Amino acid sequence: MSVENGIGASVRRKEDQRFITGNGNYLDDMNRVGQAHGYFLRSPHAHAKIVSINLDAAKAAPGVVDIFLGADMAADGIGGLICGWSITSKDGTPHNAPPHNSMAIDAVRHVGDQVAFVIADTLQQAKDASELIDVDYSELPAVTNISKALAAGAPQIHEEAPGNQCYDWELGDKAAVDAAFANAHSISKIDLINNRVAPNPMEPRAALAEFDMGTDELTLYTTSQNPHVARLIMSAFLAIAPENKLRVVAPDVGGGFGSKIFVYAEETVTVWAARKINRPIKWTADRSEAFLTDAHGRDHASHGELALDADGHILGFKVSTKANMGAYLSTFASAVPTYLYGTLLNGQYKMPCIYVEVQAGFTNTTPVDAYRGAGRPEATYIVERIIETAARDLNMDPTEFRMKNFIQPDAYPYETPVIMTYDSGDYPANMNAAKAMIDYDGFPARKAQSEANGKIRGIGCAAYIEACGIAPSAAVGSLGAGVGLWESAEVRFNPTGSVTVFTGSHSHGQGHETTFAQIISDKLGVPIESVEVVHGDTDKVPFGMGTYGSRSLAVGGSAIVKAIDKIVEKSKKVAAHLMEAAVEDIEHEHGVFSVAGTDKSITMGEIAFAAYVPHNYPADLEPGMAENAFYDPLNFTFPAGTHIAEVEIDPNTGVVDVVDWAASDDFGNIINPMIVEGQVHGGIAQGIGQALLEGVVYDDTGQLITGSYMDYCMPRADDLPNFKVETTNTPCPSNPLGVKGCGEAGAIAAPAALMNAITNALGKDIDMPATPEKVWRAAQSN
């Protein structure tokens, strides 16, 4: 028996009805009676001392309610923003996490740093008043490039971080790697830049805060991927309000890509100020502010070397990376270039030994943190670029070179030299599938045809692996994480048989209201339209760690399954009572409870009704039908796959045409294939954006010169081919749904696959983004 709209069905997304009809509940559409508007005066300088700030004229301006400075927050005992993951350097010292005030107190350290919060009756009045604030800055030299920032003589950004260093971290067995390289037949090398990107969610960040004097409660509506974590940090570290007096609500959120995980200054200031003025305050970032303050992604400079034996087997891999943290340490910034990066450098390969060292440092730039993939795209990029380079060095077909070195399907669980235990997979199957999808063997003929047309054609692949399902709490705790990374859920039947599911995961576009409802529908036989998924409100959901790292289904979904298991267990007792049978004889399938060997059965709806109207009910059982569960994962999950990109380049213009794309991904079991395919499409588009078009650029003085869509190029539909997307399935053994996670895979695989294709066509290396100018120069110098 199967269930309509159950697990495995491509159910159309329930939430899209309101999104596409303009009925979504986005933050800037929300308003409160008596609401004031906030506007931030920001630093125009990349690095400067604040000599003085004169607010007299601004405070006297029309409509101004109040103006606050960093010193006002400090005087109120409000702490600075924190980094939730402490990394230990090679020498055993903890990383340097300099003070990160929500508004600058003595100095500004990047263009856009908050200087003052102007609150007025209207937004325009607040903006006008901000023009009247006289800030006397004493400019200091600035540095934006991570290699320059870590070099001797660079401008010093924080007293607490000598040499601008955050940490100097290592992972792996250096001695073993040195020995492997000493015995190598050949060594392939690569230097590459993983370009800095701006996240650009469609909806900018926003906050609406209100204070209830009667109950002493603060409520913050905000664009967050994890409202409970925001509440925890604001309460425990910033002392905004006790957790029981602070409610954080994230309504419909229009995209995040990681950038809305973090606890930012603006939301913090807004909620604090709402109590100060005892009036609701709304702040919404404009697009310029989003470019300046949403945590950026990537920005690594890396060197890698791969040691090989005479047969083309990998002997060892070593990587040295410099990671740009920006001006301050963002909420999870320190973990991205370390435990989300170094631990994935094994790729899909049998690598006997690996050694990675990562030096992270501060610059006068916007803070950098997790961005779709967070560390795994950076790992995949260097692994798959050097694998491709090694194959070229050896004159081997890159796909054959990969097949030769792949971990084999019978080798699981597979322990890597960088502390991960891969649980399942079939990497050759993904490779073979992707090659078939793109007609890999037909490439030489297509290349010849392109040449005949004056074009150059290239093909390249990326066999990526990532770690999702973040994360086993004990494991991440031992590595420095400040939180546990479990998830919670409550499944609550209403007396009439409909269900409300409360999840600690948060949806900012992923379709949880559909996917999670499908799980309920499948397991408990409730029609999908009778299932309501509630998320994003700390007053409604027991607790939650939010959505990032492709964790919602693997961890949040598993918590729902555990709650369903409790519902079933209780329901069996009710069913046994109602059908006058022994509990052991009750069988359950898709919400129908039957007595084994008979035709007697009762439905979940009838049981729920009996639980709420317990006139005929087991004496030893509590009434009601609502169960909650917490799920702490046993392991990460390891989605993996192969993407192959094919490009055609016009050497006269340098324009790269992505002509074909094949993606074969192993996400384990799949709940909704349509949503999965959409996630893969979006991820690939974002990865192509990074590889071809996007790049944050600062000038020498630290000015952001790609601060609008005139200068920051996002991918559009006509930059993309029709993607060929298929999936394979080796179920994940560590969670009850057997799922692995699909939200980031495309963004992880795409940059490496595309750059391998472009460098294959050009016959030489170039760095991302492969803009027409760069490609043209490379093509002309051939």
Partner 1 sequence: MQMSGEELISASRERVWEALNDPEILRQAIPGCESVEKTGDDSFAATVKVKIGPVKATFKGNVTLSNIDAPNGYTITGEGKGGAAGFGKGGADITLKDADNGTLLAYDVNASVGGKMAQIGSRLIDGTAKKLAGEFFTKFNELVSNAAAADGEAPVTAAPSEDQSEAPIIAEDETNEEAAKQEDAPSQGWMKPSILIPLGIVAALILYYLAG
d(C-alpha 103, C-alpha 458), whole Å: 49
How many other CB atoms sit within 10 Å of the CB of residue 37? 21
Among 669, 703, 721, 766, binds partner 1 (CB under 8 A): 703
Q: How far is the CB of 69 from partner 1 (least distance, A)?
A: 17
Minimum distance from residue 281 beta carbon to partner 1 (Å)? 20
Binding-site size, partner 1 (CB under 8 A): 21
- Which is nearer to partner 1, 20 or 705 (by Cβ)? 705
Name residues whose C-beta falls within 8 Å of residue 259's C-beta, 6 or more positions apart in sequence: 199, 201, 205, 294, 295, 369, 371
- Which one of the spans 89-97, 589-597, 678-686, 704-712 is the region binding partner 1 (CB under 8 A)? 704-712
Taking the complex as a whole, how short is the minimal distance between the CB of residue 261 and partner 1, in angstroms? Answer: 24
Nearest residue (CB) to partner 1, 589 versus 700: 700
By CB under 8 A, which span of 326-334, 439-447, 554-562, 708-716 interacts with partner 1?
708-716
CB of 421 to partner 1, least distance (A): 46
Shortest distance, position 42 Cβ to partner 1, whole Å: 8
Supply the minimum distance, in Å, between the C-beta of residue 769 and partner 1.
17
Tell me whether the omega of the peptide bond preceding residue 769 falls within 30 degrees of 0, making it cis. yes
* Shortest Cβ 58–partner 1 spacing (Å): 11
Place of tokens 């609701």: 280
CB of 139 to partner 1, least distance (A): 9
Comparison of 289 and 369: residue with beta carbon closer to partner 1: 289
In contact, 499 and 539? CB cutoff 8 Å? no
705 scored as a contact of partner 1 (CB under 8 A)? yes
Between 308 and 693, name the residue whose CB sits nearer to partner 1: 693
The residue among 67 and 644 lying less far from partner 1, judged by its C-beta, is 67
Distance CA 369, CA 377 (A): 13
45 touches partner 1 by CB under 8 A: yes
Cα–Cα distance, 642 to 724 (Å, whole number) = 12
Give the 3-state secondary structure of residue 93.
coil
Residue among 41 and 207 whose Cβ is closer to partner 1: 41
- State the alpha helices, DSSP H only, in 6-86: 16-20, 56-59, 70-75
Instruction: Give min distance, CB of 134 to partner 1, in A.
Output: 9
Contacts of partner 1 in 229-288 (CB under 8 A): 288
Cα 195 from chain centre: 17
Question: How does DSSP classify residue 83?
Answer: -
What is the rounded CA–CA span in Å between residue 336 and residue 206? 25
694 close to 714: Cβ distance less than 8 angstroms: yes
Candidates 8, 15, 26, 44: give the one binding partner 1 (CB under 8 A): 44
Piece of the chain touching partner 1 by CB under 8 A; list 43-51, 209-217, 404-412, 591-599: 43-51
Give the residues across from 356 on adjacent strands: 171, 319
What are the Cα distances from residue 778, in Å, to 219, 656, 767, 773? 55, 12, 11, 9
When computed from its CA atoms, the radius of gyration of the chain, rounded to whole angstroms, is 27
> What's phi and psi for 677, nearest 5 deg?
-60, -40
Q: How far is the CB of 711 from partner 1 (least distance, A)?
A: 6
Site for partner 1 in 722-761 (CB under 8 A): none
Kindly write down the DSSP assignment for every residue of 520-558, as one continuous string: HHHHH---GGGEEEE-SBTTTSS----S-TT-IIIIIIH
Task: Give min distance, CB of 701 to partner 1, in A.
Answer: 6
Return the SS3 of 200. coil
DSSP 504: S
Residues numbered 510-539 forming contacts with partner 1, rule: CB under 8 A: none
Q: Which is nearer to partner 1, 35 or 701 (by Cβ)?
A: 701
Compute the distance between CA of residue 286 and CA of residue 234 in angstroms, rounded to an integer: 24
Smallest distance from partner 1 to CB 705, Å: 4
In order of 65, 368, 543, 547, 653, the CA distances from 488 in angstroms are 41, 29, 6, 12, 53
Q: Per rule CB under 8 A, is residue 27 in the interface with partner 1?
A: no
CB nearer to partner 1: pick between 703 and 729: 703
Query: Do the Cβ atoms of 465 and 639 come closer than 8 Å?
Result: yes
* CB atoms inside a 10 Å sphere around CB 747: 32
Q: Which two tokens stand for residue 705?
A: 């010169």
Q: Which is nearer to partner 1, 710 or 717 (CB)?
A: 710
Residues 105-134 close enough to bind partner 1 by CB under 8 A:
111, 127, 130-131
- Report d(CA 632, CA 487) in Å as an integer: 7
Question: What span, in angstroms and rounded, lies between the C-alpha atoms of 341 and 379?
Answer: 5
How far apart CA 354 and CA 346 sit, in angstroms, is: 7
Q: Which helix (H) or strand (E) holds 772?
A: helix 772-780
Q: How far is the CB of 49 from partner 1 (least distance, A)?
A: 15
Using the rule CB under 8 A, give the single segment among 39-47, 217-225, 358-366, 401-409 that binds partner 1: 39-47
* 45 vs 279, beta carbon nearer partner 1: 45
Helix-helix angle 558-578:512-524, to 10 degrees: 30
- DSSP annotation of 415 reads E
Q: How far is the CB of 343 from partner 1 (least distance, A)?
A: 36
Task: Give the Å distances, CA to CA, from 593 to 341, 469, 574, 578, 586.
Answer: 47, 32, 10, 11, 6
Q: Quick one: 403 or 714, whose CB is closer to partner 1?
A: 714
Nearer CB in complex with partner 1: 202/705: 705
Sign of CA dihedral 156, 159, 160, 163: positive
CB 157, CB 106: distance < 8 Å: no
- In the complex with partner 1, the residue whose CB is nearer, 131 or 397, is 131
Specify the residue, 183 or 708, whose C-beta has the smaller distance to partner 1: 708
Whichever of 115 and 604 has its CB closer to partner 1, that residue is: 115
Q: Is the link from the previous residue into 448 a cis peptide, with omega within 30 of 0?
A: no
Point out which span in 316-324, 402-410, 599-607, 695-703 binds partner 1 (CB under 8 A): 695-703
Binding flag, residue 63, partner 1 (CB under 8 A): no
What single-letter DSSP state applies at residue 505? S
Rounded to the nearest 10 degrees, what angle do helices 745-762 and 673-688 cross at?
Answer: 40
**707 is an interface residue for partner 1 by CB under 8 A:** yes
Q: How far is the CB of 57 from partner 1 (least distance, A)?
A: 12
Of residues 272, 291, 341, 440, which one binds partner 1 by CB under 8 A? 291
Cβ-based nearer residue to partner 1, 63 or 495: 63
Is 708 one of the binding residues for partner 1 (CB under 8 A)? Answer: yes
Instruction: Single out the residue of 160, 216, 711, 773 in contact with partner 1 (rule: CB under 8 A).
Output: 711
The least distance separating partner 1 from the CB of residue 699, rounded to whole angstroms, comes to 7
Among 33, 310, 710, 717, binds partner 1 (CB under 8 A): 710
Measure CA of the first residue to CA of the last residue in the chain; give whole Å: 63
- Which is nearer to partner 1, 36 or 111 (by Cβ)? 111
Task: Check binding of 773 to partner 1 (CB under 8 A).
Answer: no
Using CB under 8 A, list all residues that contact partner 1.
41-42, 44-46, 111, 127, 130-131, 288, 291-292, 699, 701, 703-705, 707-708, 710-711
